[in-house]
Structure 1
Amino acid sequence: MNNLDRSKAAFVAACFAALALLPLLTGSYGVDLVTKIMVYAIFALSLELLVGATGLVCFGQAAFFGIGAYAAVLLSPASEAAGLWWLLPVSIVAAAMYALAVGALSLRTKGVYFIMVTLAFAQMAYYVVHDTPLGGGTDGIYLYVKPALGSLIDLDSSLTLYFFTLACLVAAFAFLAVLLRSRFGRALAGIRVNEQRMRATGFSTYPYKLAAFTLSGGIAGLAGFLFAVKDGFVNPELMSWHLSGAVLIMIILGGIGHLRGALIGAFAFALLQEFFKSEAIFGAFAKHWHLGLGLTIIASVALLPRGLVGLPGQWRERLVGRNRVPSASKEALGEA
């Protein structure tokens, strides 16, 4: 591991340590807000595996998120706590199985057609829960009793849910970091850079892309499960294309191609939302928070083409550029 990799690992470790200490410094509102952001960070990591690592721009990621959430609610007993040991894996597997089916068909297309097919499958899932009694229609469904693991883990406690979500975030990040450093991850990187060359070297790229798509769906299902447990409520909006667009903005804002960029982007996007929604800062204009958020994202994309994660590199390049003396000037100084 070189110095750059060590600095990146140290930064991520420091972020996770800060999150672990945060409940000591904030109240219940802060704990609830950061829990939601960590759920979105897991969701962003799932899309980063597709977009940043494999080069597949998916616009139906919300479907897998929503399926994980709905599975958590629909499979939970109405009068007692479901077993966390089985409900969590089943929710993840349900999302992964739908991702497997969607990927098996959509990965036969490319480019904008792939984007549209994934969006179509997500809208199909949306209308299933929106227009049928299965998902409670537009009213959604409540989760009356949150899952538990005996007396060890009771997710009805906000602090317990906070640290459980943090543990899931760390596990998802570590899993993807190890995966992307493996032979499988290097194959995905090759597919992203030049799929035709990968095929020419003997790789059958379709199974790799399908495996990545399925894993991405499972991780999104994990985020959906945590979201349902946190809010105690699910509705069809969890599968809407708006959420797929929002999570895509998160990884663009943070910096595509970097796992830590997905984390930074999720936190930046959610905190910007809270900032522009604040009536204490913007007064009556807070109801138009979409405008402020949109302008900020446009400015970020224009000024930070590599995302927030590339900001230190841009600063270093500018600093070096200012300190560098042109060769013609050096010759002139030498002659003088």
Structure 2
Amino acid sequence: MTPRSVLISGAGVAGPTLAYWLARHGFRPTVVEKSRDLRSSGSPVDVRGAALPVVDAMGLLPRLRASATSATVVRVLNASGREVARVRMPAGRGRSDGGEVELPRGDLAAVLYEAAREDAEFLFDDGIASLRQDEHGVDVAFERAAPRRFDLVIGADGLHSTVRRLAFGPECAFVRPTGLFVATAPLGEPVEDPQEVVLYNAPGRLVSIHPSRDRALTAFIFRRPDITSFDHRDTDLHRRIVTESHAGLGWRVPDLLERLRHTDDLYFDAVSLVDLPTWANGRTALLGDAASCVSLLGDGSSLATAGAHTLAEALAAHPADPATALRRYESAHRTRVTPKQRGITRAAALLVPATRLGLATRNLAARLRPGGL
């Protein structure tokens, strides 16, 4: 029997993981990615929970630990730079043999890509222009490559998924902004202590410096419920939003905003929830943030990795019945995603308290509780 052809849109975390496991099960995966190469920016992410046995089975855990960050402590500062709380990060991170790994998102994506590239076709600097499916397959028109037909199409192309838009409907029907925004950029200089994440809060705003691994990152996370829509491709607009939202803050914020104005490596987006009644439409399905974004506190990469493995196993178990395979994948993976989505409000309240009282209460709890929040 000829192996089934599967087109995967997106070469981030979920896409290469899915391609790796599909190839192991005799499928022929093709991954299409709009960028010219792998994205190197973004905040550090965690590999934990159900994702750990997946990367371990891929033989990648030693490489991920070698790329791990070395941060062990979060220092919370006030506007004058004085420490007001200290939070220990979970044990087992970094280069130990513990239960999770924190590493730069770009490093995770690069390791997954290298694991998959020998057995999967990758098309960079291209995208999907249109999809037309029937009961036997999907005809795909690309922006650059010649049209092709695939047995299945999987959208692993993030919050602003092209596959979701083409096969399920407009983004506004499924994406629910939380009122939070996040921006990250390289710091551009070494940090004083590579084991410390430094965090400064004002009501509704957070600014942090993370030592990352080979280059430190600065992050801005803030509440702007008045912004209900924006062009996610307009970098100049993103700079203005971040600058306006943090005007007048103390600590190192003015200097960090000046650096942000001149960086060529700015990531910016709304923290959003993606909620669809189903992740499959015929022979097209969604994976990772495209299906169920939980873009806060680094859980997205772990969920994407675990979801990719679950999808590949379901397709391998039902190679002649993709409808059953996609239902079983969704049923299993929703049990992981739903609690994370329900907890995002509490996570946001802890990370970016909206009021001075909330901020003082959070800092007091961090000081009094062993190990921090």
* TM-score with structure 2 setting the length: 0.27
- If asked which structure has higher relative contact order (CA below 8 Å, sep 6+), I would say 1
More strand by percentage: 2
* TM-score with structure 1 setting the length: 0.29
Q: Of the two, which has the highest radius of gyration? A: 1
More helix by percentage: 1
